[in-house]
Structure 1
Amino acid sequence: MGLFKVAPPVSRDELDWLVACFAWLRRVLDDEGRKIEAVLPGDPALAEATTASELFALVQQQCEMADWPCHLERIEDEQSRSDPAEVQLDSRPLGTFSYEGEGEGYVIRYSASLLRKPDNLVATFVHELSHYLLEGRGVPPGGPDLVEHATDCCAAYLGFGVFLANSARHFEQWTDGAWQGWRSSASGYLSEQALVTATALAAHLNAHDADAIEVQLKPYLQRDFRRASKAIARDYPALRDTMANIDLRGWNFA
């Protein structure tokens, strides 16, 4: 019967790392016993926002970081359109997080291009707030090279996995008068499949409505979510206990 087991959309090693990262997050954030609600596209509170600042404040509230001091800045950027037949690969950062001294304090910057894509802007805000949340918490499982990956994982852990997964890859056609072309962009550090799996882990851990989550994912990611959910339920039926008993020292964590 083992031949017919549903395989997760990521490798076994990556699934084990995601579980270990969730365990690490629960420990460093002191979240044992806390239930975190899922936040989905179309959320009424987020839909009320009419400016980036309002949306950021609502995301902060959902992350229970409303009273964390932070200055928001927009990065004005221009899309390069030098060749109308060119497929452009856009790898510029969509957001940044930094501490800039006593005068400025903590600053989160976001790309102005995201104002046309509110869900992608939410994903960027959550990723950068996750940097803020994890500052000074130590090194994640796997070591310092996986800090950004763990930050993506944290955003899914906080209930925003659908936003991260849906915004991880984007491919669009653009036109500007006589000029036209295709643009591909990527955001984040975890793959779409890893983000979907992290979303399934958060759903399993917090008893989220899996059906409500699935229909909000891009159609081609829905099957991956079902596969991840089935594999997690089968391999980690007592996920909370598994996470509580993981020896993080085996992941080079001290």
Structure 2
Amino acid sequence: MLAIFKSKPLLEDAQAQQLIHLFGWAVEHFDVDFFLRHTRIVEPTAQDFPDQVNSVEQMAQTVFGRVRDYAGLQHWPIALLPPQQMPMQQTFPNFSLSGGLRGAQVSVSEQPALPIALSYNPNQINQPQDMVASLAGSLAMILIHQVGKLPPGGQEHLPVAADVLAVYMGFGVMLSNSAYHFRGGCGSCYNAYANRQAALSEAETIFVHALVCHFKPQYNGAKHLKPHLKGMYKKACKQLQGILKTSPDPVLLALEDRSRVALSG
């Protein structure tokens, strides 16, 4: 009888399992060693983004540099260009890496004729979390293209997979905080051009962020979330506890073992 008073899980079972499968895909193909040993939960703080800037372009370049380095892509041939300098058409360049996929030890063994051109949204000057999340999503797409492993569900699931991969790279706080924007209030208060186009809902992003933080227990994953997201995060953690206790997923089981070793080392 008391079952009617039990709180509902954050996500439906099918939704949760789809995101867990996408997380497993990220673990399998996007350098789990870097994830376990070097990925940090990037936070909107002066500690993680200490740079002082004087212009939109300088802000974009410094934020990009931080995001690229936290993602472990510091040696990849990627150039951030102002929107007006972006080529009308771009072919993804061919290049080869040595020393792994992500991290300071990686080098480009075969340089492309031109780097991968990436740009930014100048309207996000006053919404830096959106800028961080947007750049992280773009880097996730570049990673997917270079590795050449489509997510479960194929090409049509790429936007969702890129969001999951960006959270896997440590940017879950920023993606969660920028997944939804209230459109009410005065007409001048809302700028649609400044907002990130999220493929995951708030609840879905929070769920993946909680899953990443499960393997990063040294971080408080809820600390820098917007106030209304903290309850969602708590529900996600509770739902994940139940799933992970009984999950037969070999990727998750192996990651649990490797995570314990990495934390003890």
TM-score tier (shorter)? 0.7 to 0.9
Aligned counterpart, 1:131: 141
Q: 3-state DSSP class of the match of 1:47?
A: coil
- Segments of 5+ residues of structure 1 without an aligned counterpart are 77-96, 247-254
1:153 aligns with 2:164: yes
CA–CA distance in structure 2, aligned partners of residues 173 and 235 of structure 1:
37
User: Equivalent pairs: percent with the same residue?
Assistant: 24
Aligned to 1:58: 66
TM-score, with length taken from structure 1 = 0.76
Aligned to 1:111: 121
Amino acid at match of 1:71: A
Please point out which of 29, 43, 58 is paired with 1:40.
Answer: 43
Q: How well do the aligned residues superpose, as a CA RMSD in angstroms? A: 3.0
In proportion to residue count, which structure has more strand? 1
Q: Which amino acid aligns with 2:236?
A: A
> CA–CA distance in 2 between the matches of 1:217 and 1:75?
30
**Partners in 1 of 2:200 and 2:251 — Cα distance?**
21
What secondary structure, in the 3-state scheme, does the structure 1 residue paired with 2:9 have? coil
Unaligned 5+ runs, structure 2: 54-58, 94-111, 255-265
1:215 paired to 2:223: yes
Does residue 1:169 correspond to 2:180, yes or no? yes
Q: Distance in 1 between matches of 2:188 and 2:49?
A: 33
In structure 2, the CA distance between the partners of 1:52 and 1:65, relative to structure 1 (3 Å rule), is same
Provide the rounded CA distance (Å) in 2 between the counterparts of 1:193 and 1:213: 14
1:9 match:
10
CA distance in 2, matches of 1:224, 1:13: 18
What is the SS of the residue equivalent to 2:36? coil
In the aligned structure 1, how far is the partner of 2:252 from the partner of 2:233?
24
Cα distance in 2 for partners of 1:180, 1:132 equals: 34
Measured after TM superposition, the shift of residue 162 of structure 1 is 0.9
Asked if the contact 1:204–1:233 (Cα under 8 Å) also holds between the matched residues in 2, the reply is no
1:58 is displaced (CA, Å) by 1.0
Tell me which residue corresponds to 1:199: 209
Q: Deviations over 1:185-235 (max 9, x none)?
A: 5522011110000100001123243xx321311111111110000110122
How many Å apart are 1:180 and its aligned residue?
A: 4.5
| Segment of structure 1 superposing worse, 7-16 or 221-230 | 7-16
- Return closer, same or farther for 1:180/1:121 CA change in 2, 3 Å cut-off: closer
1:71 pairs, out of 62, 68, 79, with: 79
| Corresponding residue pairs, total | 221
- Counterpart-to-counterpart distance in 2, 1:127 and 1:6: 32
CA offset at residue 143 of structure 1?
Answer: 1.9
Residue of structure 2 equivalent to 1:29: 30
The alpha-carbon distance between structure 1 residues 56 and 13, as it changes in their structure 2 partners (threshold 3 A), is: same
Assess if the C-alpha contact under 8 Å between 2:41 and 2:170 holds in 1: yes
2:134 and 2:196 in contact (8 A); partners too: no
Q: Find the residue that maps to 2:133 and give its secondary structure.
A: helix
Instruction: Give the secondary-structure state (helix, strand or coil) at the position aligned to 1:150.
Output: helix
Aligned residue identity for 1:150? A
